[in-house]
Amino acid sequence: MLEIFKIPLIAFMFVALGQEEKMIFHWYQKMIAPLPEWIRFPLGGCYKCFVGQICFWYYLIWHLNTYKIFDHLFFISAGIMIAMAYNKIYCYLK
Give the Cα separation of 11 and 15 in Å (integer).
7
Q: In whole numbers, what is the pLDDT of the chain averaged over residues?
A: 94
Q: What is the pLDDT of residues 14-31, one digit of tens each?
A: 999 888 888 888 999 999
Q: What is the pLDDT of residues 37-62, one digit of tens each?
A: 999 999 999 999 999 999 999 999 99
Instruction: Specify the pTM.
Output: 0.90
Residue 8 carries which side chain, given as an amino acid letter?
P
CB neighbours of 75 closer than 8 A, spacing ≥ 6? 4, 55, 58, 59
Domain of residue 9 covers 3-93
Number of domains forming the structure of the chain: 1
Task: Name the pLDDT band for 7 (thresholds 50, 70, 90).
Answer: very high
